[in-house]
Structure 1
Amino acid sequence: MQTGKFISFEGTDGAGKTSVLNAVAKRLTPQLQQKLLITREPGGDFISEQIREVILNRQNTTMDIRTEALLYAASRRQHLVSTILPALADDKLVLCDRYVDSSIAYQGAGRKIGETKVADINLFATDGVLPFKTIYFDIPVKVGLKRIAAHRQEQIDRLDVETIDFYERVHAAYDRLALADSNRYIIIDATQPLKLVVEATMNQLKLVAPEYFTEEEI
């Protein structure tokens, strides 16, 4: 039985979701300690991290797009069964940097495989397990790409060198996902300064997972 809460962080490249997650983790860890799990995709597990290295390696320019989509799904399956589900069974608050929606947006729309096809692959991989809530950090594509160019030159991976049209398709797919599942999606304006985005995220976490906060903090 799942008694914890699973919340994913999503957004196009340059939205700052990883920076926000790191800041949130720093604030929550002292109080939640072992009741907090911070994880990521692809990765979050020994086997999944090895798959991540293959997916994001800039030398793998000949990787077939369906191979890429299947590798993401395989990594996600391993991550889910070895890390996420045990944490939820242990009543933990699970905050994950990306999940299924990333595959639907990036491979389904960005790579033009088809959003429904990629969703179906991941339905099989996850047995339909979705986050309780998804915090979506919304930012215009051009703003996000400018951030990447300015701050991430030493961390550019294979997906960071795509065309602007690719990222526009990804952004549009996220918009569709948010509209189709508005009860799950929480949209945060990621164009704000990082401090304000972190505060907005913390406020949303207190609203949707109040059991992990003291009354004073709420």
Structure 2
Amino acid sequence: MPGAFITFEGGEGAGKSTQIERLRRRLEAQGHSVLVTREPGGSERAERIREFLLSGRAKALGTFAETILFSAARLDHLEKTIRPALAAGRIVLSDRFSDSTRAYQGAAGALEPDLLDAVERVVLAGTEPVLTLILDLPESIGMSRAVDRRGDARADRFEGEGAAFHAALRQAFLDVAKAAPQRCAVIDGSRDPDTVEKEIWDVVRTRLPDLAAPREHVAHG
């Protein structure tokens, strides 16, 4: 079987990590081999870029420079991690991908859509998710969750932005979903994790039925 690439998107505190782990368990129970990864990061070089970006050291360079750094990390992530896993027939679940660049550096960071389109074409080179699950919730709830999650740790580059930034970010993800309804599904992330998990699984079963079926049935049916 060919692999499948599924991405999770959303603002801070949306619950992506929790739901990725739950979907991984469901898919593995169906007999699939699953790789969980993240952006920025997911490969040795990309993880080093992640550390630089989230520390805030790149902020002074401007939004375009941050975009180039995210893109460099994504190129390595695709080459070293995502494409080999897909070629091996694995399901790849990624915590963020190119839609986050479109939201964070595009709408919230005010970069021109045409510029982002051009960068995306070069970086992705045709490797795109078959399904993107966007976990949506009011930014006030998301930020409260993010504060609780990090405890005494310092806010990262994007958690430390103000309410207007996070409101723009939420709308940007909703705009991504509206522009690509065949790929994206918006999930209400403000509900309890069990309810969110059930809706995600319903979306996977509806849109990607081969993945929701037991592997033996898919292989021989």
Alignment of 1:1-150 (within 5 A): 3-29=2-28, 31-32=30-31, 35-150=33-148
- Tell me the SS of whatever aligns to 2:12: coil
Q: TM-score, normalised by structure 2?
A: 0.88
Could you state the TM-score of these two structures normalised by the residue count of structure 1?
0.89
How much has 1:32 moved relative to structure 2?
Answer: 3.6
Task: Report the Cα distance in structure 1 between the residues aligned to 2:120 and 2:24, rounded to whole angstroms.
Answer: 27
Q: CA contact under 8 A between 1:107 and 1:113: conserved in structure 2?
A: yes
Q: Quote the Cα distance in structure 2 between the aligned partners of 1:130 and 1:179.
A: 17
Structure 1 unaligned residues grouped into runs of 5+:
none
For 2:185, the equivalent position in structure 1 comes to 186
Distance 2:75 2:128 in 1: 12
2:156 counterpart residue number: 157
**Range moving further from structure 2, 166-175 or 113-122:** 113-122
SS for the counterpart of 1:50 is: helix
Instruction: Give, in angstroms, the shift of residue 142 of structure 1.
Output: 1.5
Amino acid at match of 1:81: E
State the shift of 1:215 in Å.
Answer: 8.5
Q: Runs of 4 or more off by more than 6 Å in structure 1?
A: none
1:209 shift after superposition: 3.1
SS for the counterpart of 1:187 is strand
> Could you tell me how far 1:205 is from its partner in structure 2?
2.3
* Preserved contact between residue 5 and residue 209 of structure 1 (Cα < 8 Å): no
Percent sequence identity over aligned pairs: 32
Encode CA deviations 1:151-210: one digit per residue, 9 max, x unaligned: 323363111100111111111211111111111011111111112112222222233333
Q: Which amino acid aligns with 1:116?
A: D
Inter-partner Cα distance in structure 1 for 2:107 and 2:113 = 6
* d(CA) in 2 for partners of 1:122, 1:215: 33
What is the number of residues matched between the two proteins? 216
**Cα displacement (A) at 1:70:** 0.5
**Secondary structure at the counterpart of residue 158 of structure 1:** coil
- Say what the alpha-carbon RMSD is for the aligned residues: 2.4
Kindly provide the CA deviation profile for residues 70-121 of structure 1, in whole angstroms up to 9, marking residues without a partner as x. 0101111111121111111111111111111000000011111223322321
- The letter of the residue matching 1:42 is P
Contact 1:108 1:116 survives alignment (8 Å): no
Task: Work out the CA distance in 1 between the residues paired with 2:124 and 2:35.
Answer: 19
When structure 1 is superposed on structure 2, of 193-202 and 19-28 the one drifting more is 19-28
